[in-house]
Structure 1
Amino acid sequence: MSTTATEIVLPGRVEPAGLLITRRELPAPAAGQALVRVEASGVSFAEQQMRRGKYYDQPPFPFVPGYDLVGTVTTVGADVDPALVGTRVAALTKIGGWASHAVLDAADLVPVPAALDAAEAETFVVNGITAWQMLFRTAKVRAGQTILVLGANGGVGSTLVQLARANGIHVIGTASARHADAVRALGATWVDYRGEVARQVRALAPGGVDAVFDHVGGPGIADSFALLAPHGTLVSYGTAATKNDEGDSRLPVLKLFARLLLWNALPNKRNAHFFNLWAGKRNHAGFRARIAADLGQVFALAVRGDLRAQVAARIPLTEAARAMELAESRTVVGKVVVVA
């Protein structure tokens, strides 16, 4: 059995309007695979960088973007439990999510609770896994500690704030003034990122913060490290400050790696990490088990009401260009979701 899929193709380094809407025949799922009718996929910073050709390990053009998805299993291949058909699932894909259908390895699918609709659940997939692992696996933050979240109004940032607050962690969050009320509503103490962030944070946490989560990179990463308390942890997970830089897209990342390694080599009692969601073997059972366990924890908190889905907008798949433009406008709180 096969099906025709509508896909959004990134043909090269183009403006959002240059995205292509295509159709192709998908094969029936092979052994160990499932065909998923995609209901929602997100617009993250990764896709924004991919269209510029600046995401660190993106594939050659052309390809279908879409870092994660939520959908319903319609058909399964051999060696897959037939009971999976009809189940709503989530998956990390890195690419391929901006489509009406996708053939995926069944082992990569995580059940989605019925209490969450597709767009709500989608906001918790890559954002939730990233936030959970950075907070609890990398920085190992505990109740009663204080953290600084840069971009607390964004997809990962808003999830980080909520996860931390649900676990008794104090949060200082940066954002523009237009998002101040939204950041406060999430439970964080707002700091204006257009002001002197270091001064504002030191006034709130004179002894330093226990962890900083920094997606910005660039020269400001030094301030993030300097704001740490003794034995604190800096978790860097992006280089947004260099997104428009010309030249080799790998260079800013490699410079960041070098700086983090240098700081870790110094006797300063503070730690610095670059978070890579894909560290380890993607098809390894241990990697898949961690993804399923961590996303399961996030979904459980959402069902209990400890996490609120931050859906900035729901935009039809065929209007992915508009979704990309909105996500890049920096005017939204949460995540823009394309829905099929």
Structure 2
Amino acid sequence: MMKGICNLLWSGFAASLICIATLYPLATPAQTAADVPAVKLLKAPLTSPSDAWDYYGNSTVHTNGVAYSATRAPEIREIAKALGAGRLATDEYTSAVYKYVRDNIKPDFRFGLSKGASGAIIDQSGTAFDQAQLMVELLREGGVTAGYVIGTIGLSNAEFTAWSGVSGAKAVCQFLADGGIPAEINSSTNCENLGTGNFLTLRMAHIWVSANSKKYDPAYKEQIQKSGIDLAAAMGCGTQTSPTCGSAILNSVPAVGIYPGTTNVTYVQNANSTSIDAQLKAYATNLESRIKSDSVTTKNNLQIEDIVGGLKIDASAAESLSGFLCVEPYTALRARKDVWQRKTRGRFRPSCWTRCWRGVTPRRFSIQAA
């Protein structure tokens, strides 16, 4: 029998992930029962912006990672061309780039560079750092000088809820802590001491873009909570309040058994896969017909949030303040303000490394974003 343990560590400030996988080739039921696979969710502590700035320091050094390329990705070049690079005036092109990132890239609430500019395009989502890098790279592709600004911002409860869909002091505190985003809620970093009501003050670390002597924050965007449709009714298996989808499938599944050597690990075997496949296909066909019908009725192509519910970017929200595009819609407290023109600073770019043991020999592998 071989047992392997692999620890995966995501290095970065206030963010670590440890994954332990245990493999048992040809394991007996008794051995399997002793190590039933499980996932444990942990809560991260919240870190204040001032402590974060002390940790990160003032270095603006950028080292090239394994995904580094001397030329910009083709998707960035093509999007820049489509947005008017080389054709529009500087301010007009900058406005088009800002609107593209703001209206199309959904926010991921984690601190630091995660996917980078290309990853944000592919996933249509990204952290504030990813979105800032995407905007800067698109601007530079169009010949516009642009740089990064990082500092501490202040938001009201309404502003943060419109951005994230999360409200309540304790919930917001843990939400930011789990994303490794330095912040203070009501001047505190202790989530357990906060109540469930709206917070009074929020200070958080953030990044935005400087171009043409103006400030742009493509990551801040208001979102609309979509309720979705009644999926059970659309699939033809009851209603949202009284669904029958699962019970119809269970009719094709034999009685549940208890796995040998355990007391609470259940299993099934000899399920009627033909019947289950047919039922699932019927559900899918019904749902497809409903989506097509709604698209014809509304004259719009439905997005996933329109169907299953969730947050959707409000592209109609106000885009200007003080006479030009997107200066901060929040209060820029400027307790710390760094400006740099080159690539994203290395300290804000997380690295992922693995350390594996096979027998007694450790091996380490490192991966870092570009």
TM-score (norm 1): 0.29
Looking at secondary structure, tell me which structure has more strand per residue: 1
Q: Which has the higher contact order (CA 8 A, sep 6+)?
A: 2
Bigger Rg over Cα: 2
